[in-house]
Amino acid sequence: MSQTAFPRTALVALALVGAPMGAVARVISRIKRELYEDSSLGMKTNSRSTSVVAMSGTLVLAALLRRGTADAMPTFGAGFTGLYTITDLGTLSGIPGPFGGLTFLDNDTIIMGGRANQTAADIHAFNVSRDGSGHINGFTSAGTFYADSPEIDGGLSFGPGGVLFYTGYNENLLGQIKPGFTAPSRLDSLSPTISGSVVALAFVPSGFAGAGQLKVVSYSSGQWTTVTLSPDGFGTYNFSVATPTITLGGGPEGIAYVKAVNRGFLVDSILLAEWGVGKVATYAIDANDDPIVSSRRDFINGLSGAEGAVIDPVTGDFLFSDWGGGDHIWRVSGFTPPPSTSAPAPGALSLMLLGLASLFAAPHKKIRRSNMWTAGEFASAPQAMVRGREAA
């Protein structure tokens, strides 16, 4: 077997004896992702063979057997230590892993992707509990089915008209789920404008210069760009994708915006989950609310598969899920609470106006769940716009 055919995870595994357990966990999560992408498992097409991936796993397990120390908690980067605290909220039942993107349905209910990156992926809802200061300290219900979301990854957010948007990996998908529906009303490929596969999205929140803009990022290429929406007459949205001019490293995933009033942040910024390197990074943003590549700083180090990202509308806490790191949800406290104490109606004025335009453009038509497009159909026409099929 040639070295070029051997996964990087296997090469890294050879050096894991004596490595910190956090590094071991990150390699394991990468192997899990390769397994999900392997064509022989009937999931995503990938040139690696199952036997090669299995060999990688064997090497990692061997390294684990040589380790006897417990994994350390994640740490904060320079300029943030002592200003913020991180809490592992644990996992929860009823949501099959790996975990994907997450967002708030209301102040005490979160929805989150399960079975992330798989064609059978779906979104689940669960309730949270809060301590006397309002911080989330646990879960009061198991996850319950909310909607199908094929291939959901680290992006999940409500947009104009109450439409729920999500990103699908690895077929470069943008999904839209209309209010009251339990399956995508529309699925589109972002190829060829965005190379690789989009993995996360965020609507710029109120209080920022470009409030309401939709930003997306690709995992494999690191491309970041803006998506402009316009009503399509069916309660969902047409879009145009700006040619990407920004490339981010680290294997980017979930996106969250933070204001300069927060300690350690000198200017308005984003927090970006970096799945590929086990970190959360922060970037200063420009006048268009896009990250300035040269401004990157470590915010959190020592993670295993940082995935989805969202800001708690009550406390301003930063929440993120992990993919392959045990399927946990993490809370980072120390941020300034947002002006509003209610979950962000996908909210900026521009989003509201766009939603109203969609309502009056044409009557809504019901989409049959059984007629949802499949991943195989995307594979046969990857550059075509794909819309949910309407019931007769």
**Arithmetic mean of pLDDT, 353-379:** 38
For the residues 359-387, what does the mean pLDDT come to? 35
Task: Flag whether pLDDT at 171 surpasses 50.
Answer: yes
Q: How far apart are CA 158 and CA 21, in angstroms?
A: 36
Architecture category of domain 75-356 in CATH: 6 Propeller (2.120)
Q: What pLDDT was estimated at residue 202?
A: 98
- CA gap 192, 31 in Å, rounded: 28
d(CA 81, CA 297): 13
For the stretch 311-321, pLDDT in tens is 999 999 999 99
**SS3 of 124, please?**
strand
Cis ω before 170 (30° cut-off from 0): yes
**pTM for this one?**
0.76
The average pLDDT across 277-305 equals 97
How buried is 279 (Cβ within 10 angstroms: 0-12 exposed, 13-18 middle, 19+ buried)? buried
Of 340 and 61, the one with more pLDDT: 340
